[in-house]
Structure 1
Amino acid sequence: MLEKGWIALDIDGTTTAHVREIPWEVSQFLKGLARKGWRIFFITGRVYSWTLQSLSPLSFPYLFAVQNGADIIEMPAHRLLSRAYLSPKIIPFLEKAYRNIAYDYLIYAGFEKGDFCYYRPRRFPEEIAWYLDLLKSFSPAPWQKREEFSFAEGDSFPLIKCFGSKEAMTPLFEALLHLRELTVSMIRDPLCERFYLLLITDRKASKGTALDRARAAFHSTAPLIAAGDDFNDLPMLEKADIKIVMQTAPEEVKARADILAPSASECGIIPALKEALQRL
């Protein structure tokens, strides 16, 4: 079938307002677009296993990128299309920057190891145990405790996650921006309203570079529609011919929109995509 174009979608707050599922109406609408020749590409900060909880019921071919583009997978074949992982060499830089922050950071191992995290329990106060337990519920494999983060030279991992209040995360975000080896995104935590997240990935792993890598793999220059609702979606939106932003997004993100969509809780991506298709 002739490729009509690409539709790149964030998941949380864009495609769905639910933690573990995509609304039936949205999945059926996307299925119809896929049948007409549109390539559907989900790009998320989620881990692989959590992403599949939402996407596995979909009955059409699609691509998805996890952890802001660290891994790109083609479905239904589960074929790894592209990978961009971090080196342990960045940990000393992070240790220096990590001052006066209440909660330690987490290092994700990657989906082939079971999406677990390396973590240092002694650096988390008991008051935050409930949150760590929530994160652990999305990992098929048990988390690994470490006294210190020490890895072999050949090791690599998809993402480092920092979390805390906006006031705590903002100076750390600014301190890490100058490291050219990294992509750093600051977003609202979809699991806990009180937290902001810093998602740290390799410089080749952002939602924008994930789009570039995937489209290059298919030698595609077809039209692109992208939709998102947070700051880590901006690199993806910048690549798009038509930019959809959800009404629930921060004002700075909404300022980039060609189309403002109703909230994900209203399945707002459907009317927004309909409008985008009419504009092309």
Structure 2
Amino acid sequence: MRYRLIALDVDGTLLNDRHELVPETVDTIREVVAQGAEIVLCTGRAPLSTIPLMEQMGLTGYVISHNGAATVDAATREIVHQYQMDKRSLEPYISYCRENGVHFDVNTAFELYVDQLEGLKLEVQSMYEAFLMEPLQLPQWADWSEPLVKFTAFGSMQRLDEVYRDWGRWEQPFNMLRSGDFFIDLMHKHASKGEALHQLAQQRGIAPDEIMAIGNYYNDLSMLTYAGKGIAMANSPEEVKLAADEVTLSNNEQGVRHALIKYCLN
């Protein structure tokens, strides 16, 4: 089967644990593209921390960012589609985070805002640096008018387990998911990597069985099950592996390269 569209998660999948693109993997991706496949990066990251990876690989096309909440043309930086969140429905989550000392950020398609820009903890600053993001000061909530696409809580795994349990008891107006051990993301109810991939594929005239998706975490489940070939990384949780069609090597063993050679180049 020749796959026309290949969706790649970024952190824990395309990148190793040092957040690096491995040259051999990049060479394989370029070879797959030269044979006619289209690469789309599908990530919880924002476009501004994803597009540089496309540029490093010498690729054009699209990035599905914020876990499917915003799809952007990597060359023109045009927003192709975005799911706007309801501002009022976010207010209880913001209050919870403020009252319980949970760090959070609020995202438009291209910008990231934090509640207290001054005095950010070192681990928070390091996290934003690793994801190539420069936070801005959140303005007065009553004055906010920009389209919101994602709300993220950040903290230790144990702390976020507690937050996830608490929010899970609420009537949920959003798509709430763990996008990593240290993150909980809220998006529009219909926003997901799988739905965004579905929309992009329809626009490109590509059927699901012509799509391969590779990912490693719970936020990848929707695209792994939508694609004709869903491949989980060896470093994935067991539930993600069980939902996939195949399991490749880990992100530290160039699992993406291994899968592309096996299913796209042989």
Q: TM-score, normalised by structure 2?
A: 0.85
Identical pairs, percent? 21
Task: Kindly state the Cα deviation for residue 175 of structure 1 after the two structures are TM-superposed.
Answer: 4.8
Task: Kindly state the Cα deviation for residue 37 of structure 1 after the two structures are TM-superposed.
Answer: 1.7
CA distance in 2, matches of 1:104, 1:239: 33
CA distance in 2, matches of 1:182, 1:235: 15
Match of 1:240 in 2: 227
Indicate how the Cα distance of structure 1 residues 31 and 131 shifts in structure 2: closer, same or farther if over 3 A, else same. Answer: same
Match of 1:256 in 2: 243
| 8 Å Cα contact 1:45/1:67 also seen in 2 | yes
Indicate how the Cα distance of structure 1 residues 41 and 231 shifts in structure 2: closer, same or farther if over 3 A, else same. Answer: same
Deviation by residue 1:131-178 (Cα, 9 ceiling, x = unmatched):
2322443566552155x63344x4322211102233332343345456
Equivalence map 1:19-38=2 (5 Å): 21-38=20-37
State yes or no: 1:215 paired with 2:201: yes
Deviation by residue 1:212-256 (Cα, 9 ceiling, x = unmatched):
121122232151111101111001111011111111111111112
Indicate how the Cα distance of structure 1 residues 140 and 60 shifts in structure 2: closer, same or farther if over 3 A, else same. Answer: closer
Task: Kindly state the Cα deviation for residue 7 of structure 1 after the two structures are TM-superposed.
Answer: 0.8
CA distance in 1, matches of 2:18, 2:63: 17
Q: Which has the higher helix share?
A: 2
Match of 1:197 in 2: 183
State yes or no: 1:169 paired with 2:160: yes
The number of residues matched between the two structures is 262
| 8 Å Cα contact 1:45/1:68 also seen in 2 | yes
Question: Any unmatched runs of 5+ in structure 1?
Answer: 190-195
Match of 1:159 in 2: 150
Task: Kindly state the Cα deviation for residue 92 of structure 1 after the two structures are TM-superposed.
Answer: 2.4
CA distance in 2, matches of 1:98, 1:142: 17
Which secondary structure does the structure 2 equivalent of 1:49 belong to? helix
Equivalence map 1:1-280=2 (5 Å): 4-17=3-16, 21-95=20-94, 98=97, 101-111=100-110, 115-120=111-116, 129-137=121-129, 138=131, 143-145=136-138, 149-152=141-144, 154-176=145-167, 179=171, 181-189=173-181, 196-221=182-207, 223-277=210-264
Which secondary structure does the structure 2 equivalent of 1:59 belong to? coil
Q: TM-score, normalised by structure 1?
A: 0.81
Indicate how the Cα distance of structure 1 residues 243 and 184 shifts in structure 2: closer, same or farther if over 3 A, else same. Answer: same
> What letter matches 1:117 in structure 2?
Y
Deviation by residue 1:99-143 (Cα, 9 ceiling, x = unmatched):
8633232112331xxx23131469xxx7x6102322443566552
CA distance in 2, matches of 1:171, 1:140: 26
| 8 Å Cα contact 1:4/1:36 also seen in 2 | no
Instruction: After superposing the two structures, state which structure 1 stretch, 175-184 or 213-222, moved more.
Output: 175-184
Question: Any unmatched runs of 5+ in structure 2?
Answer: none
CA distance in 1, matches of 2:251, 2:128: 25
CA distance in 2, matches of 1:158, 1:135: 20
Which secondary structure does the structure 1 equivalent of 2:92 belong to? helix
Indicate how the Cα distance of structure 1 residues 234 and 263 shifts in structure 2: closer, same or farther if over 3 A, else same. Answer: same
